């Protein structure tokens, strides 16, 4: 059941969070997890018109969104990261996963997920360049002004030395001009 639902998340991002949450308990499922999966199947049965729309008339530009919930997992106090990438107006990639480590602040949390989204956007740009498409500066929308400030201002890095070195990747690509970090309200 989980495998079938994971397959459907490619065109149904509305179920991705619930399906991934059920998949976390795949090794030792309980009755409540089975009921949750049946609930997802019922939802799919009565909402067949919902899904991802791929428009052919939009301009070709890459854009990414990133968000995280601070300590959202009640069991391990790890955060759930979410990213999505658009080509024009069409959603082409999305990800929702539990972070591998416990974040000590919301800034760290948002910075980690923004770096992950940046990595995915740069990989997509490299892939599209193989097809002859070129993109200038890629827009990355983040809902945390503090995470954007940390990426833009190297002076603030002394306050976040505890963040793993691999997440300095975001600042590096911002300074190179590969990405443009823009604040977006959480509700949007």
Q: How confident is the model at residue 178 (pLDDT cuts 50, 70, 90)?
A: very high
Taking only the tens place, the pLDDT of each residue in 2-48 is 888 888 876 777 888 888 888 888 888 889 888 999 999 999 999 88
Average pLDDT rounded to a whole number, residues 166-187: 85
- Does residue 97 sit in helix, strand or coil? strand
CB within 8 Å of 128: residues ≥ 6 apart: 62, 87, 134, 135
Which has more pLDDT, 144 or 103? 144
Average pLDDT rounded to a whole number, residues 130-145: 88
65: left (phi over 0), alpha (psi -120 to 50) or beta: beta
Average pLDDT rounded to a whole number, residues 83-103: 79
* Vertex 125: Cα angle to 137 and 131 (nearest 5): 125
Q: How confident is the model at residue 58 (pLDDT cuts 50, 70, 90)?
A: low
Taking only the tens place, the pLDDT of each residue in 143-160 is 888 888 888 876 655 566
pLDDT of residue 163: 64
Which has more pLDDT, 108 or 154? 108
Q: How far apart are CA 24 and CA 67, in angstroms?
A: 20
Taken in order of first residue, the domains within the chain and their CATH numbers are: 2-46 (no CATH), 62-183 (3.30.420.10)
Q: How far apart are CA 108 and CA 115, in angstroms?
A: 11
Q: How far apart are CA 35 and CA 38, in angstroms?
A: 5
Residue 103: CB atoms within 10 A of its CB come to 22
Of all residues in the chain, what percent carry a pLDDT higher than 90? 21
The mean pLDDT value of the chain amounts to 81
């Amino acid at each position: 059941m989980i495998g079938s639902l994971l397959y459907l998340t490619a065109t149904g991002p509305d179920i991705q969070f619930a399906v991934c949450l059920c998949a976390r308990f795949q090794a030792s499922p309980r009755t409540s997890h089975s009921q949750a999966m049946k609930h997802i199947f019922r939802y799919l049965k009565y909402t067949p018109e919902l899904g991802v729309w791929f428009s052919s008339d939009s301009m070709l530009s890459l854009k990414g969104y990133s968000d995280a919930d601070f300590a959202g997992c009640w069991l391990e106090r790890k955060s759930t990261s979410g990213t999505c990438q658009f080509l024009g107006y069409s959603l082409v990639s999305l990800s929702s996963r539990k972070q591998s480590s416990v974040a000590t602040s919301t800034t760290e949390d948002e910075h980690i997920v923004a770096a992950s989204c940046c990595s995915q956007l740069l990989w997509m740009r490299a892939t599209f360049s193989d097809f002859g498409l070129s993109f200038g500066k890629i827009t990355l929308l983040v809902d945390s002004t503090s995470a954007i400030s940390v990426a833009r201002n190297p002076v603030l890095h002394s306050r976040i030395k505890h963040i793993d070195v691999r997440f300095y990747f975001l600042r590096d690509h911002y300074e190179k001009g590969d990405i443009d970090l823009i604040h977006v309200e959480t509700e949007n």
